[in-house]
Amino acid sequence: MPQHDVLIIGAGLAGQRAALAAADAGATVAIMSKVHPVRSHSVAAAGGINAAINPADDWRSHAFDTVKGSDFLGDQDAIEVMCREAPHEILHLEHIGVTFHRNEKGELDLRAFGGASMKRTAYVADITGQAILHVLYEQLMKYHETVARYEEWFTTSLIQDDDGTCVGCVARDIRTGVMETFTAKNVILASGGAGQCYKPTTNGLIVTGDGIAQAYRIGAPLMDMEMVQYHPTTLVENGFLITEGARGEGAHLLNAHGERFMEKTAPNKMELASRDVVSRAEQIEINEGRGVGPGGAGIALDVTVVPKKRVHEALREIVNIGKDFAGVDITAEPIIIRPGQHYIMGGVKTDIDGATPIEGLYAAGEVACVSVHGGNRLGANSLLDTLIFGRRSGEHAAARAAGMSMPTLSDEQMHADAAWIDEIIGRGRGGRRISEIKEELGTTMNQYCAVFRDAEGLDKAHEVVRRLKEEARTAYIDDRGTVFNQDVLGAIELGYMLDCAESIVVAAIERKESRGAQYRTDFPERNDEQWLKHIDIKVNGDDTPKVTYSPVTITQWQPEERKY
Amino acid sequence: MAEVHKEPQEFTLRIRRYDPESGEPAYWDEHTVELEPHRSVLEGILQARARFDGSIGIRCSCRAAICGSCGVRINGQPGLACHTHLDKAVASSRDGVIEVEPMGNMPVLKDLIVDMDQVHWKKVQRVTPWLVNKQPIPEREYIVPAYNMVDVTQSMACIQCGACVSDCLSMEVDPLFIGPAALAKAYRFVGDPRDAQQFERLKDLAEDPHGIYDCTHCFKCIEACPKGVAPMNQIMRLRRMAGDVHGINDRNNGHRHEIVFAHLIRDHGLLWEAELLPRSYGGDSFFGKFHPAAGAELVSSLPAITKALVRGKVTPMGALKPHKLPKQDLGQIHSIYDKVEGREEPYELNLYVTGYDEDESGAEGMPSAETGTPGMEPEESPSR
Ligand SMILES: Cc1cc2nc3c(=O)[nH]c(=O)nc-3n(C[C@H](O)[C@H](O)[C@H](O)COP(=O)(O)OP(=O)(O)OC[C@H]3O[C@@H](n4cnc5c(N)ncnc54)[C@H](O)[C@@H]3O)c2cc1C
Ligand code: SF4
Ligand code: SF4
Ligand code: FES
């Protein structure tokens, strides 16, 4: 039975950063991922990473922009930590080899991003996430003797001892189908978001909310789950992302009349207002018949106003995406986009060290909710979040491990999970196909729990999710094998997605106001008096979520009206 | 604005299946899917999986050619399933059916899934794939030319998909060859001004018999790469830096071989096989063959030479006599040499600098880099 001081589940940016930090702190470390680490969805992050690194900038300005972007739902103590530590973290990345682009003086170059009061986004062309992820993996290869890697291992459950402390997990070796109990003094969840609850989404097929659901199932509270970000520029074609870097470099958004409609909602920041603001403005244009493209369902993103040379060196990836996936040369003509599901602000509730209310369990990255993003995440703040809180949880977990002995575990949970998997594989063909349920879930969430919401639609969504949960119990699969049985993992992931979707819908029903990404047409105003608080969702013995509240931490910035 | 909405059509996929648990050999499996023609082969496979058979094995996640999971061979050509349109795949098929197979040069684990750890990742680990910092590490960022960071971005853009490894000709012959992707990764450090071991890395890769001089210049990896990394060009950069910049005279004779090759062509217009080998080992002149090192190499190469003679690849007369080109043609060749050798610094084509893939041409308004080596017209590319 493998035993480690710190076991990290997930090898995206948050997980890899946590592993390196824990190893540097002297702990014995293992990192586990259901895909090879460089396939983790962090690889898709294009635009960049924020830090007040320019001497003329100040971390407080970054922090205020973040607080304002969050629509004052972010916890200001956590935001202060993130923004204060950001420049140091970027320099650390630079030192271990990230090839950040430079200005003519050879210093880090910075680009403009949405919701920011100055240029503070460091970048590597438009492959920033890939560049950082691959460089962290370079370090993991360097640390190959001190960090054990379980690549293509799928975590099925977290394990608690009698006191409720988290002491390990059960996982399946995808290559062989072997199940194993992993003992750990600390577990760090870094298993990413839950974008696949939606269709379309900018998120990869592996982003299925596994960690959020696994933590929820052992009683950890989920926070801010109603806050689901719709990114303003996703391809109408297939939901792929066009990075905010495009607008950062100066691209315009145009309606059917060729107007820069952002003038109406954000006369100062225009296209670079917060994402929730821009997405809503676009949706209004579309809903009121000023959309472009087939069915008027899109908005034109005009990149031709950006100098060609700049496009080629800094936005190459979206030139390719336009060419390969929409048949459009973005340097010559506008491309049609619309708001699309992109990011889950909510997640497993943690403190500023990544610790969840469950002893021994940490969470970092998109799976977690510290909360630094509150009601709306600023572009290029997520990579920062993964790294800062990945590192902090790695360090904190290593320190906790130093003072304790290795727990002893039985294989009980492992046997239970093995039986669960056998049961799924053995199901007769009476029920629905997994793929049908997933499809219905995604389209339902995108219809009723999107940019604009109301009680009626949310109730409908809740009903559908409850029904799908029922149907998932008997849904069948085709693959009966053990080697790379992706089919059975898909069935397990569907269960995780349904848990996440339910908590999203329940929280959205609960919040009877409009704040950040949550816009209720039946409650169109922000209501600080009643709703300046987090919604926490916990599992209730009988599989129905229980709602409680927790306060928002305010340090320096009192809520005010949000104008861009 | 391009109208890209097209009606769904039927496409038939012929997928190579292999179930390691069945004891049966690999077989072909056909499914017909219905999708718009500009959808990807991956979407086709996923539809087949969703509708007909959930057991089809393929790694995938991003669907957008960025995670590097879905490397396969489509109609025999390596690439990403998510990066190949269905209509284009039909056009390149033999019989209107899109054939999808696992990548080559790596063992198949199941269906379209290959063991990349055994081959690809082992080779990456071989090139010391991490930055060895120049000391002292500055308090703030290293100050480096903007050009260099844009330059190494081309090899940073590698998504480790393995498509180039799949069809590398040298690797087929010599499985120990470090290979295109890992060598492109090596360039990412050699070209990085923050790395302290440029010389050591180059020396290591030049001296390794399976290193940079093991590449046969076949272009397969450039064709295969979905991200424009152009691994062969990175390998050529490594060679140029090893030989020309650091003067590394590797024991594989790779650098001398290149020089002699170039000189023979300059002088004769065509290759003179009988002189190539001895001159590379013994020295770049007509007397090279009398050097002891050349003699030793000639003896050890005798079996290969005999084989070439037997197969008629080399004729005794042709090999012994220098080939001749008409005078005016030779003059043209000389002017190419003059132009290339007369340059102040070697031009490198980097798509992040020029904005154009190296296999694209005829682009107007080539932008040039802000600092460092200027951009150049694609038709002047030294590598094509
Ligand atoms: C297209 C796109 C572009 C983006 N651009 C930007 C940007 O420019 N700037 C920015 O700041 N943010 C951006 N984001 C957001 C940002 O990329 C993500 O929020 C962030 O990368 C999440 O990182 P993570 O480490 O938390 O999770 P991930 O990178 O998603 O990693 C999750 C890991 O968990 C593993 N895992 C999951 N479930 C299991 C399981 N059951 N068992 C074992 N392992 C498991 C996975 O294998 C993976 O290794 C973008 C997001 C998208 C989708
Ligand atoms: S050019 Fe060289 S590295 Fe590339 S495929 Fe051919 S032999 Fe392999
Ligand atoms: S060089 Fe290109 S083909 Fe080879 S692994 Fe990298 S991205 Fe894939
Ligand atoms: S699915 Fe990510 S590269 Fe094809």
Phi and psi, residue B6, nearest 5°: -125, 160
Token pair recorded at residue B156: 């940073």
Within a domain: A356: no
Domain extent, residue B18, equals 9-114
**Residue A131 pLDDT > 60, yes or no?**
yes
Please say if A275 is a catalytic residue: yes
| Chain A CA closest to residue B50 | A435
- What percentage of chain B reaches a pLDDT higher than 70? 73
Quick one: B215 and B284 in the same domain? Answer: no
Within a domain: A559: no
Quick one: B163 and B211 in the same domain? Answer: yes
Quick one: B306 and B274 in the same domain? Answer: yes
- The number of folded domains in chain B is 3
CA dihedral sign, ordered B274, B276, B279, B285: positive
Quick one: B156 and B241 in the same domain? Answer: yes
Identify the nearest ligand to the CA of A213 by its number: 1
Q: What is the model's pLDDT at position A506?
A: 98
Nearest Cβ partner for B83 among A40, A313, A324:
A324
- CATH number for the domain spanning B191: value is 1.10.1060.10
CB atoms within 10 A of CB B41: 28
- CATH number for the domain spanning A498: value is 1.20.58.100
**Residue B350 pLDDT > 70, yes or no?**
no
Calpha distance B279→B263 (Å, rounded): 10
Q: What is the model's pLDDT at position B294?
A: 59
Within a domain: B346: no
Question: Could you tell me if residue B162 is left (phi over 0), alpha (psi between -120 and 50 degrees) or otherwise beta?
Answer: left
To 10 degrees, the CA torsion angle through B4, B6, B11, B17?
40
Q: For A426-446, what is the mean pLDDT?
A: 96
Within a domain: A322: yes
Residue that terminates a domain, selected from A320, A339, A358: A339
Question: Is the beta carbon of B361 within 6 A of some atom in ligand 4?
Answer: no
Calpha distance A332→B193 (Å, rounded): 35
**Residue B369 pLDDT > 60, yes or no?**
no
Within a domain: A503: yes
Q: Give B367 or A293, the one with higher predicted confidence.
A: A293
Q: For B219-246, what is the mean pLDDT?
A: 95
Residue that terminates a domain, selected from B59, B87, B114: B114
Interface size A-B, in CB pairs within 8 Å, comes to 201
Confidence band for B383, pLDDT divided at 50, 70 and 90: very low
Q: Which long-range contacts (CB under 8 A, 24 or more apart) does B302-309 make?
A: none
Token pair recorded at residue B312: 């008629």
Domain extent, residue A487, equals 416-532
Q: What is the model's pLDDT at position B282?
A: 61
Q: What is the model's pLDDT at position A327?
A: 83
Q: For A16-38, what is the mean pLDDT?
A: 98
Quick one: A526 and A421 in the same domain? Answer: yes
Instruction: For B50-104, write each residue's pLDDT tens digit.
Output: 999 999 999 999 999 999 999 999 999 999 999 999 999 999 999 999 999 999 9
Quick one: B95 and B57 in the same domain? Answer: yes
- Name beta bridge partners: A533: A551
Quick one: B239 and B291 in the same domain? Answer: no
| Chain A CA closest to residue B55 | A479
Confidence band for B375, pLDDT divided at 50, 70 and 90: very low
Q: What is the model's pLDDT at position B348?
A: 53
Within a domain: A257: yes
Quick one: A420 and A524 in the same domain? Answer: yes
Quick one: B138 and B241 in the same domain? Answer: yes
- What percentage of chain A reaches a pLDDT higher than 70? 100
Q: Determine the number of helices (DSSP H) and then strands (DSSP E) in chain B.
A: 16, 7
Interface touch A294/B3, C-beta < 8 Å: yes
The whole-chain average pLDDT of chain A stands at 96
Instruction: For A517-564, write each residue's pLDDT tens digit.
Output: 999 999 999 999 999 999 999 998 777 899 999 999 999 999 999 988
Within a domain: B61: yes
| Chain A CA closest to residue B194 | A97
Within a domain: B349: no
Q: For A67-86, what is the mean pLDDT?
A: 98
Peptide bond into A2 cis (omega under 30): no
Contacts of B160 in chain A (CB under 8 A): 38, 134
Confidence band for B371, pLDDT divided at 50, 70 and 90: very low
Calpha distance A459→A88 (Å, rounded): 46
Confidence band for A383, pLDDT divided at 50, 70 and 90: very high
Confidence band for B358, pLDDT divided at 50, 70 and 90: very low
A148 touches chain B (CB under 8 A): no
Q: Give B363 or A327, the one with higher predicted confidence.
A: A327
Token pair recorded at residue B7: 């009606």
Query: Which 418-437 residues of chain A touch chain B by CB within 8 A?
Result: 433-436
The ipTM value here is 0.95
- Name beta bridge partners: A16: none
Closest CA to B80 of B227, B222, B189, B218: B227
- CATH number for the domain spanning A300: value is 3.90.700.10
- The number of folded domains in chain A is 2
Q: Which helix (H) or strand (E) holds A363?
A: strand A361-363
Lowest mean pLDDT among B35-39, B265-269, B332-336, B378-382: B378-382
What is the DSSP code (8-state) at residue A520? B
Interface touch A434/B192, C-beta < 8 Å: no
Quick one: B282 and B304 in the same domain? Answer: yes
- CATH number for the domain spanning B23: value is 3.10.20.30
Quick one: B40 and B121 in the same domain? Answer: no
Q: For A392-410, what is the mean pLDDT?
A: 96
Select the residue from B149, B159, B368 to test the A interface by mutation, using most A Cβ atoms within 10 A.
B149
Ligand 3 centroid to residue B160 C-alpha, Å: 5
- Nearest residue (by CA) to ligand 1, atom 50, is A45
Quick one: B235 and B263 in the same domain? Answer: no
Confidence band for A300, pLDDT divided at 50, 70 and 90: very high
Residue spans of beta strands (DSSP E) within chain B: 9-17, 27-35, 71-74, 77-80, 98-101, 108-110, 113-114
Within a domain: A396: no
Q: For A171-188, what is the mean pLDDT?
A: 98
Quick one: B228 and B323 in the same domain? Answer: no
Select the residue from A36, A102, A242 to test the B interface by mutation, using most B Cβ atoms within 10 A.
A102
Ligand 1 centroid to residue A207 C-alpha, Å: 7
Q: For B143-154, what is the mean pLDDT?
A: 93
Quick one: B33 and B78 in the same domain? Answer: yes
Query: Which 294-333 residues of chain A touch chain B by CB within 8 A?
Result: 294, 300, 308-309, 311-313, 316-317, 320-321, 324-328, 333
Residue that terminates a domain, selected from B114, B139, B163: B114
Residue that terminates a domain, selected from A323, A339, A355: A339
Nearest Cβ partner for A204 among B57, B61, B109:
B61
CB atoms within 10 A of CB B335: 10
Nearest Cβ partner for A205 among B38, B53, B61:
B61
Within a domain: A297: yes
Q: For A200-219, what is the mean pLDDT?
A: 97
**Residue B372 pLDDT > 60, yes or no?**
no
Residue that terminates a domain, selected from A288, A318, A339: A339
A103 touches chain B (CB under 8 A): yes
Phi and psi, residue A302, nearest 5°: -105, 105
Q: Which helix (H) or strand (E) holds A390?
A: helix A382-402
Within a domain: A283: yes
Catalytic-role residue among A111, A120, A275, A338:
A275
